[in-house]
Structure 1
């Protein structure tokens, strides 16, 4: 095997260095990316590097020419991707070396998460860490043998020269190393079918959560570390667990986390919505990119938390987050764009991270006048809120009541002053250069946002959210669902493209099922089931009983991945398992429930020590170990009663309804003329029908 020091330690050591002054982009050059629609790929369309998109014909040409692949993966909102483009990919000396010796491929990780997963695993195996830009050098068949993230120009040139020499002079060893690495990449992704395992118990779950809680930051929320990611699936599960099991300490931590995130600079107090993560431990300074997937999931989480606590802060966060998404990310056709960049042009015309969002003390004082003193205390225009270069990132650390008392005003008067000040700042921001928009529309991220809108309507009752949800659901129906019930991944400028991945199916199935629960329109239930059945046919691994990330209709890569770990977005398999369990309650004759239980058994060995990474999976332990209710509403007033019931936080339930007879078993033979009856059932066995929400809740309580 090729010596790791030769091709890994030496070359990776070259990745440390200072950034160089960026050159202005020119259009002297145009490469094949000019034909793509991804904003990230189009950003590189005028590099002197002969970039190509990931396509079978490009890989075939690499084999014919016997050139290694240089694969560079990033996304439009990625700060360090922009830095490396300026320093390396716009440089003609660098481009010459890359063009002479490599087939150069640019990938938008958001368009092609299947490719990104594989090469992220590769770099983590080689170096122990990863990130974007993700730069990989691979054999012409795609097997990697070197990788790095951000690399300054001089070290990039040195690395590529050494790699070129190695490929020409020691190819046998490189091939052996790449083969061994490819075997490792496949091995770490294997999932065993553990059919003989016992189901995970509540006692085991309690122990797992207890171990997990040792990492909680009880004061600042989240975990005892920096950076801090929001991880909505973590707090979503813990909200479920705390309320289902009367765990006040866990609930206290959920509330502390949600409050601190809402107080922090990671939340945009001026324009609403969350940035991707905070670089520090107090949720203060964000990595300023704003992603649709974060905001969709957080709208859902805060709406559920509001249903439980009736905390007005949570309601405000939902409202402002959806307001941001509607204002900045909504396409006229009902789809949602992907992200806003971290970088924008500063006052000198240079791209700078956070330039759109930060404020100087003098600027705030001049803009806000007599209200500045209250604003200064409220948002910490002091050493606590200072970021760098005299710039402040707004952050709260006191309640409205504390600030109002200090300034001898009522809470309502305080809020009026603050709202006026924030409106002034928002208006002022319109004069600044806006962050760049990634206007591609991704199916899975739209599924997450659709679910967020449904939950916001469900728990806040705002009809506008349902209208927005229906507009998005119809967009997905029209533009992303094909005639055979398969999905597209991407939509841009009127065209849908790329076959969808498992996460696309999982999130849309979940969102459509949730939409059915608040509308009782069986169209959405049928779409959801059709997508589920398509995924079972084309994604299911019959051996492990898990789902592959890619369909059997797509060209094979060096690995057909199985995604199990919940990250900032829940694993596609965990979402699918929850979908299957819920569909089992509606279609008991299908094998959905058996499959869901087996999927959990396959991964539950990781729950004990890695609960954070399997949080979405652990809902299923609660579903299986505690009563799960099928609630059917039948009769003339089914929508009104259904709306009241859906506003209750009942995570261990599924809600169905119809005016008379419905298309699923739970809605058959339930109609009684002149009455609206509600049936509370467990696995199809129902209690005596009742006529009010209060009676339903009493039956569930008992």
Structure 2
């Protein structure tokens, strides 16, 4: 026997290629080996940036004694959850059903047919050793009971789907109930929802911003603003380099779990950009600008595309790169600036993190300070960032995940067109090109690529939805019909191969690898669910192309997920965001112009109702339905405000367009 991970493309699997464990990658060969040996499989699921995955690896998987137990009694399979979200979803449902909680690393014992019979997460070495022995004994001496347990678990997780469930029409009352649920669940002191650990609620904030714009709800805007300010000033946000960590271990956003994920930062970039659009708050714009800079600077890869994550650890220690003591600040900045920085960033002698060190937080509003203080702050940040760059740096998971890059395309496109950031606009177009040229193979999406080479795992529903939505965003900022055509091709695949037959969607295609159950999770968690992502793209495509059948599919899917809105709004943020657009129309704005920088374009983007699609370009562009039969009026750039391709009278005056949009 030998470790089989040396040829893996996943950085996470490659981290384990030198373990004494005889790891197998996920695949039929591993299960066939388990059947040949008549032993259970041990499925270990994690990801490259996961701190506790590293801890369990160091404690157990690098230990010869533990490895011997694993090798003798099991076929051990290592899974990168980011490459195989379908596998992760199936066994996470089982883990949550059996233990009441989930997380990574995920540890699953299953039959040689993949049926899980015992599941958990992180186990310290002594517990894990005893568990291996106990499971091995049960497999040999109580086989019938183990198999019955596995069959029961499979039946239970197969029923935990939103297939054949109730449907509820989308209504203003339902979305008001979703907003009220979030209001009730908010942390009024520190912002966000719930207690520790606290995750950035990006999708809920996007929903509340659209809800505010449609209804005028002051509470929706205030809840969003408060959460955005607390996060942006907290330790979850990198006060020196920009970018958000995965979550805060406390309720105050002070000490993060330091991994930085592409999907969080893409969704937060959208939230802060939209908050600035609606309020003009310079703080929101600064956080958006710095987050966009982080994405392009720290996650950009030589082969194109954005890397998945930065690790939580450096040199095996969590937070080593980021934490400071007062003495370290003085060493870098000198006595006067060091003391000033310690006060500004709340770096104390006792510390907020480990070993007397502190995570930097922004103690007071600096964006609106007098120019000399702002300049001093920028100078201090520059010096500290330079000093920090000489410390050990976190590793980077440089695989390109289709759905997460799709989220980034949409976010960068919005940031670029709203703020005028040319780098964001160019990056959105380039990223879309990488996804179209590399990940779209034979008309079907592939989930991952690395170093310019596309991987084998098939795209799941969230890939189709997020990439299609990204293509639609690029279509809008370029008026290039190619992107609309590509989005339609992806949506047609999703409708043909992922539908449940009753308006919903499975997460895997009907011709994908068969797992013990076919996942169909409608809830938004760390990322938009496949259902909410594909629904967003269906609504957008229908509005841009004027093809009602796609809107009918979107409405049917929204009715499937709508029961979650008032019961579990924190797990339906993205689908509720889409529902806000659907309830509004969404509006369509066509701007016939030969000048993409015409003031009408800026007005349309700044003042459009929630979810509006906007295309600006010369009239009758090939492949751009929204510009068809939309002539310039008296030779001037002309705006058409439409719903269902039925338009109001054309407008040429930006002030008139502002007044027209203000009525919505």
- Range class of TM-score, shorter chain: over 0.9
1:375 is matched with which residue?
Answer: 341
For the pair 1:523 / 2:482, whether they are aligned, the reply is: yes
For the pair 1:202 / 2:172, whether they are aligned, the reply is: yes
Report the CA distance shift for 1:430/1:383 in structure 2 as closer, same or farther (over 3 A): closer
For the pair 1:667 / 2:627, whether they are aligned, the reply is: yes
Q: Is the 8 A contact 1:379 1:385 kept in 2?
A: no
Cα distance in 1, alignment partners of residues 593 and 290 from structure 2: 36
Cα distance in 1, alignment partners of residues 626 and 41 from structure 2: 55
2:653 is matched with which residue?
Answer: 692
Structure 1 segment 148-547 matched on structure 2, within 5 A: 148-192=120-164, 194=166, 197=167, 199-345=169-315, 351-369=316-334, 370-382=336-348, 386-400=352-366, 411-482=370-441, 484-497=442-455, 498-542=457-501, 544-547=502-505
Residue of structure 2 aligned with 1:139, choices 94, 111, 114:
111
The count of residues paired between Structure 1 and Structure 2 equals: 658
Deviation at 1:30, TM superposition (A): 6.3
Cα distance in 1, alignment partners of residues 608 and 349 from structure 2: 40
Report the CA distance shift for 1:464/1:434 in structure 2 as closer, same or farther (over 3 A): same
* SS of alignment partner, residue 239 of structure 2: coil
Cα distance in 2, alignment partners of residues 149 and 159 from structure 1: 12
Instruction: Render the CA deviation track for 1:318-370: whole Å, top value 9, x for unaligned.
Output: 2211222222211123211111111112xxxxx11000100111111221112
Cα distance in 1, alignment partners of residues 380 and 505 from structure 2: 50
Cα distance in 1, alignment partners of residues 561 and 607 from structure 2: 31
Cα distance in 2, alignment partners of residues 205 and 494 from structure 1: 43
Instruction: Render the CA deviation track for 1:158-213: whole Å, top value 9, x for unaligned.
Output: 1111111111111111111110110001001242254xx55232123223322331
Deviation at 1:638, TM superposition (A): 5.8
For the pair 1:682 / 2:640, whether they are aligned, the reply is: no
Cα distance in 2, alignment partners of residues 292 and 623 from structure 1: 25
Deviation at 1:288, TM superposition (A): 0.5
Cα distance in 1, alignment partners of residues 400 and 625 from structure 2: 36
Q: Is the 8 A contact 1:226 1:280 kept in 2?
A: yes
Instruction: Render the CA deviation track for 1:124-164: whole Å, top value 9, x for unaligned.
Output: 11110111110000000000001121112222121111111
Q: Is the 8 A contact 2:207 2:580 kept in 1?
A: no
Cα distance in 1, alignment partners of residues 181 and 258 from structure 2: 32
* SS of alignment partner, residue 185 of structure 2: coil
Q: Is the 8 A contact 1:337 1:438 kept in 2?
A: yes
Cα distance in 1, alignment partners of residues 244 and 362 from structure 2: 15
* SS of alignment partner, residue 566 of structure 2: coil
Cα distance in 2, alignment partners of residues 699 and 644 from structure 1: 11
1:623 is matched with which residue?
Answer: 581
Deviation at 1:509, TM superposition (A): 0.6
Q: Is the 8 A contact 2:506 2:519 kept in 1?
A: yes
Greater mean deviation of Cα atoms: 222-231 or 662-671: 662-671
Report the CA distance shift for 1:648/1:332 in structure 2 as closer, same or farther (over 3 A): farther
Cα distance in 2, alignment partners of residues 395 and 281 from structure 1: 14
Greater mean deviation of Cα atoms: 544-553 or 290-299: 544-553
Instruction: Render the CA deviation track for 1:405-444: whole Å, top value 9, x for unaligned.
Output: xxxxxx2111111111111111111221111111111111
Report the CA distance shift for 1:365/1:657 in structure 2 as closer, same or farther (over 3 A): closer
Instruction: Render the CA deviation track for 1:517-545: whole Å, top value 9, x for unaligned.
Output: 11111112211111111221222222x22
Q: Is the 8 A contact 1:461 1:647 kept in 2?
A: no
Greater mean deviation of Cα atoms: 76-85 or 675-684: 675-684
Q: Is the 8 A contact 1:307 1:649 kept in 2?
A: no
* SS of alignment partner, residue 77 of structure 2: strand
Report the CA distance shift for 1:147/1:258 in structure 2 as closer, same or farther (over 3 A): same
Cα distance in 1, alignment partners of residues 356 and 523 from structure 2: 40
* SS of alignment partner, residue 391 of structure 1: coil
Cα distance in 1, alignment partners of residues 254 and 137 from structure 2: 46
Report the CA distance shift for 1:638/1:359 in structure 2 as closer, same or farther (over 3 A): closer
Cα RMSD over matched residues? Answer: 1.9
Q: Give TM-score, length-normalised by structure 2.
A: 0.95
Tell me, which stretches of 5 or more residues in structure 1 are unaligned? 1-28, 346-350, 405-410
Greater mean deviation of Cα atoms: 300-309 or 660-669: 660-669
Q: Is the 8 A contact 1:342 1:435 kept in 2?
A: yes
Report the CA distance shift for 1:117/1:485 in structure 2 as closer, same or farther (over 3 A): same
Q: Is the 8 A contact 2:466 2:537 kept in 1?
A: no
Cα distance in 2, alignment partners of residues 383 and 264 from structure 1: 19
Q: Give TM-score, length-normalised by structure 1.
A: 0.90
Q: Is the 8 A contact 2:505 2:557 kept in 1?
A: no
Cα distance in 2, alignment partners of residues 638 and 362 from structure 1: 52
For the pair 1:651 / 2:617, whether they are aligned, the reply is: no
Q: Is the 8 A contact 1:516 1:522 kept in 2?
A: yes
Greater mean deviation of Cα atoms: 594-603 or 660-669: 660-669
Report the CA distance shift for 1:386/1:654 in structure 2 as closer, same or farther (over 3 A): same
Instruction: Render the CA deviation track for 1:69-94: whole Å, top value 9, x for unaligned.
Output: 10000111111111111111111111
Cα distance in 2, alignment partners of residues 616 and 494 from structure 1: 31
1:557 is matched with which residue?
Answer: 515
* SS of alignment partner, residue 391 of structure 2: coil
* SS of alignment partner, residue 141 of structure 1: coil
Report the CA distance shift for 1:625/1:478 in structure 2 as closer, same or farther (over 3 A): closer
Tell me, which stretches of 5 or more residues in structure 2 are unaligned? none
